[in-house]
Structure 1
Amino acid sequence: MQIFEALRQDHEKQRLLLKILAETSGNTAARREYYEELKVQLESHAVAEERYFYSQLLEKDATVDLTRHGIAEHHEIDELLEKLDDTDMSSPAWLRHLKNLQDKVEHHLADEEQEFFQVAGKVLNDRQKSTLADGYRDEMKTSVASATETA
C-alpha cells in the first residue's frame, strides 16, 4: 500500500463520521460517541499525516507551499473542534459549528486528493510511498488505540 491509499481510507472514515453526525440531534449518547470517534480520527490523522507525509514534503520545493497550507488547515480544524467542545451539544449552534467543520474538512480532503497527492506523487519514489504508508498506518493504530483506552 502507498501513502495515498492509506490517507484516502482515513479520509473516507472522516467523511462518513461527519455525515452521520450531521444527521444527529440533541445531546444524545449516539452524538457524543460519533463526535468522540470523529475527534480521535481527525486528531490522530493530523499528527500521523504531518509526521509521515507532510514532513517529507516540506523538504521539496514543489510541495512546500501545499504542505504549509495543509498544516494551516489542520490548525483551523483543531480550532473548530475546540469550538464544538465548548458548545452545548443540544444547542443549535453546535450543529452550525459541525457544518463549518464538515465544510473545512471536506475542503481539506479535496485539496489533498485532487491536487496535493498528484504533486507529491511526482516527488516521492515508490519505496518512499510504501515506507511512509507503513509509518502512517502504525502511527494511526497506536494513536487511535491510545485515545480509545483513555476515553
Structure 2
Amino acid sequence: MDNIYEALRESHETQRKLCRRLLRLKPGDPRALAAFDALRIELAAHAAAEERYLYAQILFDDMGLKSSRHALAEHHEIDECVEAMETVRDQPAAWRVHARKLSHEVHHHLREEERKFFQLSGKILTERQKVGLATRYRRDLDRMRAVVA
C-alpha cells in the first residue's frame, strides 16, 4: 500500500515537469499558456489537498507547528507568483521573469518539503495514518483538480 508521501511525490513530479515545460516554451506561444494553466491547476489542487490531509495533521503536534506554518507560507508565495503570471499574460518579457520566479519557488518548496517536512511529519504520523491520508489526499486532489479547472 502506498502512503501519503508517495502520493504527494506523484504530484510533485507533475509540478516539476510542468515547470520545465513552461520554461522551455516561448512567451506568447499557446502551448506556454496551456502549460501555465495546467501548472496553475496542479499547484492549486495539490496545495488544497496537501494542506487538508498532511499539514493540518502536523499542525496539531507541537513538534510540527513551525514546519507546517513555514510550508503554508511557501504555498502562499507560490499562489502570489501564479497571480503575478496571470497579470502579465500579454507581456513576454515580464512573463519570462515571472515564470522563472514561479519555477524557482516551486522547486525550492518541493525540495525542502521532501528533504525536511516529510522526515519530520514521518515521526509524527503512524504508519496507519500515512496510508489512510494517502487515500483521502488522492481523492481530494482529483476533486480539486476539477474544481480549480
Question: Could you state the TM-score of these two structures normalised by the residue count of structure 1?
Answer: 0.94
The residue type equivalent to 2:148 in the other structure is A
1:32 matches 2:51: no
- Tell me how far apart the structure 2 counterparts of residues 109 and 142 of structure 1 sit (CA, whole Å): 22
- 5+ residue gaps, structure 1: none
Root mean square deviation of aligned Cα: 1.0
1:45 matches 2:40: no
Match of 2:65 in 1: 64
Summarize the alignment of residues 2-151 of structure 1 with structure 2, pairs less than 5 Å apart: 2-148=3-149
The list of structure 1 runs, each at least 4 consecutive aligned residues, that deviate by more than 2 angstroms after superposition, is 145-148
Instruction: Indicate conservation of the 8 Å contact 1:25/1:90, yes or no.
Output: no
* CA positional deviation for 1:28: 1.9
- 5+ residue gaps, structure 2: none
Question: Could you state the TM-score of these two structures normalised by the residue count of structure 2?
Answer: 0.96
* CA positional deviation for 1:125: 0.3
Q: Percent identity?
A: 40
The residue type equivalent to 1:94 in the other structure is W
3-state DSSP of counterpart to 1:119: helix
* CA positional deviation for 1:71: 0.3
Q: Residue deviations 1:35-68, cap 9 Å, x none?
A: 1100000000110000000000000111110000
Instruction: Indicate conservation of the 8 Å contact 1:66/1:116, yes or no.
Output: yes
- Tell me how far apart the structure 2 counterparts of residues 41 and 95 of structure 1 sit (CA, whole Å): 20
